[in-house]
Protein backbone atom coordinates (compact mmCIF):
# COMPACT_ATOMS: atom_id res chain seq x y z
CA UNK A 1 0.00 0.00 0.00
CA UNK A 2 2.83 2.39 0.82
CA UNK A 3 4.25 1.81 -2.67
CA UNK A 4 0.97 2.92 -4.24
CA UNK A 5 0.90 6.10 -2.15
CA UNK A 6 4.54 6.84 -3.01
CA UNK A 7 3.88 6.27 -6.74
CA UNK A 8 0.94 8.69 -6.60
CA UNK A 9 3.06 11.39 -4.94
CA UNK A 10 5.80 11.03 -7.57
CA UNK A 11 3.22 11.59 -10.32
CA UNK A 12 2.26 14.98 -8.84
CA UNK A 13 5.69 16.58 -9.35
CA UNK A 14 8.11 17.12 -12.21
CA UNK A 15 11.65 18.43 -12.54
CA UNK A 16 12.44 21.53 -14.58
CA UNK A 17 15.67 23.34 -15.36
CA UNK A 18 15.72 27.07 -14.67
CA UNK A 19 17.48 29.52 -17.05
CA UNK A 20 20.39 29.58 -14.54
CA UNK A 21 20.84 25.83 -15.02
CA UNK A 22 19.55 25.00 -11.54
CA UNK A 23 17.11 22.11 -11.32
CA UNK A 24 13.95 22.46 -9.29
CA UNK A 25 11.09 20.04 -8.51
CA UNK A 26 7.71 21.62 -9.25
CA UNK A 27 4.19 20.51 -8.42
CA UNK A 28 1.86 19.59 -11.25
CA UNK A 29 -1.49 21.36 -11.30
CA UNK A 30 -4.47 19.12 -10.48
CA UNK A 31 -7.20 18.17 -12.96
CA UNK A 32 -9.48 21.16 -13.56
CA UNK A 33 -6.57 23.62 -13.24
CA UNK A 34 -3.77 24.90 -15.49
CA UNK A 35 -0.33 26.26 -14.65
CA UNK A 36 -0.35 30.05 -14.48
CA UNK A 37 3.36 30.13 -13.61
CA UNK A 38 5.92 27.39 -12.93
CA UNK A 39 7.77 27.11 -9.66
CA UNK A 40 11.12 28.76 -9.03
CA UNK A 41 13.70 28.29 -6.28
CA UNK A 42 11.67 30.64 -4.08
CA UNK A 43 8.06 30.27 -5.29
CA UNK A 44 5.77 27.22 -5.70
CA UNK A 45 3.85 26.41 -8.88
CA UNK A 46 0.88 28.73 -9.34
CA UNK A 47 -2.27 27.01 -10.63
CA UNK A 48 -5.59 28.52 -11.71
CA UNK A 49 -8.99 26.91 -12.27
CA UNK A 50 -10.20 26.36 -15.81
CA UNK A 51 -13.01 28.73 -16.77
CA UNK A 52 -16.36 27.55 -18.14
CA UNK A 53 -16.06 25.72 -21.47
CA UNK A 54 -12.46 24.60 -20.79
CA UNK A 55 -10.93 21.62 -18.97
CA UNK A 56 -7.85 19.63 -17.96
CA UNK A 57 -8.40 15.95 -17.24
CA UNK A 58 -5.04 14.99 -15.73
CA UNK A 59 -2.31 16.34 -13.45
CA UNK A 60 -0.49 18.80 -15.71
CA UNK A 61 1.72 21.82 -16.28
CA UNK A 62 -0.05 23.14 -19.40
CA UNK A 63 -0.17 26.95 -19.78
CA UNK A 64 -3.90 26.97 -20.58
CA UNK A 65 -6.90 24.68 -20.32
CA UNK A 66 -8.19 22.78 -23.34
CA UNK A 67 -11.41 24.00 -24.99
CA UNK A 68 -14.35 21.60 -24.74
CA UNK A 69 -15.46 20.10 -28.05
CA UNK A 70 -18.92 21.02 -29.33
CA UNK A 71 -21.40 18.34 -30.37
CA UNK A 72 -21.57 17.96 -34.16
CA UNK A 73 -24.59 17.88 -36.47
CA UNK A 74 -27.06 15.12 -35.49
CA UNK A 75 -25.37 14.65 -32.11
CA UNK A 76 -26.60 15.40 -28.61
CA UNK A 77 -24.75 15.87 -25.36
CA UNK A 78 -24.35 12.67 -23.34
CA UNK A 79 -22.12 14.19 -20.62
CA UNK A 80 -21.58 17.94 -20.21
CA UNK A 81 -18.23 19.70 -20.28
CA UNK A 82 -16.83 20.41 -16.83
CA UNK A 83 -13.47 21.80 -15.79
CA UNK A 84 -12.37 18.16 -15.24
CA UNK A 85 -13.40 16.53 -18.54
CA UNK A 86 -14.40 17.19 -22.13
CA UNK A 87 -18.00 17.08 -23.32
CA UNK A 88 -19.14 13.63 -24.51
CA UNK A 89 -21.55 13.53 -27.44
CA UNK A 90 -23.58 10.72 -28.98
CA UNK A 91 -25.70 10.37 -32.09
CA UNK A 92 -29.31 11.51 -31.74
CA UNK A 93 -32.04 8.83 -31.83
CA UNK A 94 -32.48 7.57 -35.40
CA UNK A 95 -28.77 8.04 -36.20
CA UNK A 96 -25.62 5.93 -35.78
CA UNK A 97 -21.87 6.65 -35.76
CA UNK A 98 -20.45 6.03 -39.24
CA UNK A 99 -16.74 6.82 -39.72
CA UNK A 100 -16.60 10.42 -38.50
CA UNK A 101 -20.23 11.54 -38.43
CA UNK A 102 -23.75 10.52 -37.41
CA UNK A 103 -25.66 8.95 -40.29
CA UNK A 104 -29.43 8.39 -40.42
CA UNK A 105 -30.53 4.77 -39.88
CA UNK A 106 -31.48 2.87 -43.04
CA UNK A 107 -35.25 2.55 -43.50
CA UNK A 108 -36.10 -1.02 -44.46
CA UNK A 109 -37.97 -1.17 -47.79
CA UNK A 110 -41.42 -2.78 -48.16
CA UNK A 111 -39.91 -6.09 -49.30
CA UNK A 112 -37.61 -6.15 -46.29
CA UNK A 113 -40.14 -5.51 -43.55
CA UNK A 114 -39.01 -4.45 -40.10
CA UNK A 115 -35.32 -4.48 -39.20
CA UNK A 116 -34.10 -7.86 -37.99
CA UNK A 117 -31.70 -5.98 -35.76
CA UNK A 118 -32.70 -2.45 -34.80
CA UNK A 119 -30.08 0.26 -35.08
CA UNK A 120 -28.40 1.90 -32.11
CA UNK A 121 -26.05 4.87 -31.70
CA UNK A 122 -23.25 2.59 -32.93
CA UNK A 123 -24.77 0.50 -35.75
CA UNK A 124 -27.37 0.77 -38.50
CA UNK A 125 -30.63 -1.16 -38.86
CA UNK A 126 -30.09 -4.58 -40.41
CA UNK A 127 -32.84 -5.44 -42.90
CA UNK A 128 -33.63 -8.82 -44.53
CA UNK A 129 -36.26 -9.72 -47.13
CA UNK A 130 -39.59 -10.78 -45.63
CA UNK A 131 -39.56 -14.09 -47.53
CA UNK A 132 -36.10 -15.44 -47.86
CA UNK A 133 -35.66 -18.77 -49.68
CA UNK A 134 -32.81 -21.09 -49.00
CA UNK A 135 -31.41 -22.73 -52.11
CA UNK A 136 -30.37 -26.38 -52.12
Distance CA(102)–CA(93), nearest Å, equals 10
Question: pLDDT value at position 39?
Answer: 94
Looking at residue 26, what is its pLDDT?
A: 94
Q: What are the extents of the domains in the chain?
A: 22-73+80-92, 93-131
DSSP per residue, 52-93: TTEE--SSB--SSPEEPPPP-TTEEEEE---SSS--EEEEPT
> Tens digits of per-residue pLDDT, 76-132?
999 999 999 999 999 999 999 998 999 999 888 876 667 788 888 899 988 887 665
Q: Give the pLDDT confidence score for residue 55 in this predicted structure.
A: 99
- Its pTM stands at 0.73
Q: What is the pLDDT of residue 112?
A: 66
The DSSP H or E segment spanning 37 is: strand 33-37
Q: What is the reported pLDDT for 136?
A: 47
Superfamily of domain 22-73+80-92: Tumor Necrosis Factor Receptor, subunit A, domain 2 (2.10.50.10)
CB atoms near residue 55 (< 10 Å): 21
Residue pLDDT, tens place only, 2-19: 444 444 444 589 999 999
- Span 57-75, pLDDT tens digits: 999 999 999 999 999 999 9
Q: What is the pLDDT of residues 35-53, one digit of tens each?
A: 999 999 999 999 999 999 9
Interior angle at CA 85, CA 9 and CA 105, nearest 5: 140
Amino acid sequence: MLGLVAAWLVMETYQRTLPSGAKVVCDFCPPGDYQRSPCTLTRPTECRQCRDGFYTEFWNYVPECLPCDPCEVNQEEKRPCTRFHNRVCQCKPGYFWHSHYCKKHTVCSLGEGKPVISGTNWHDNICFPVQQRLSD
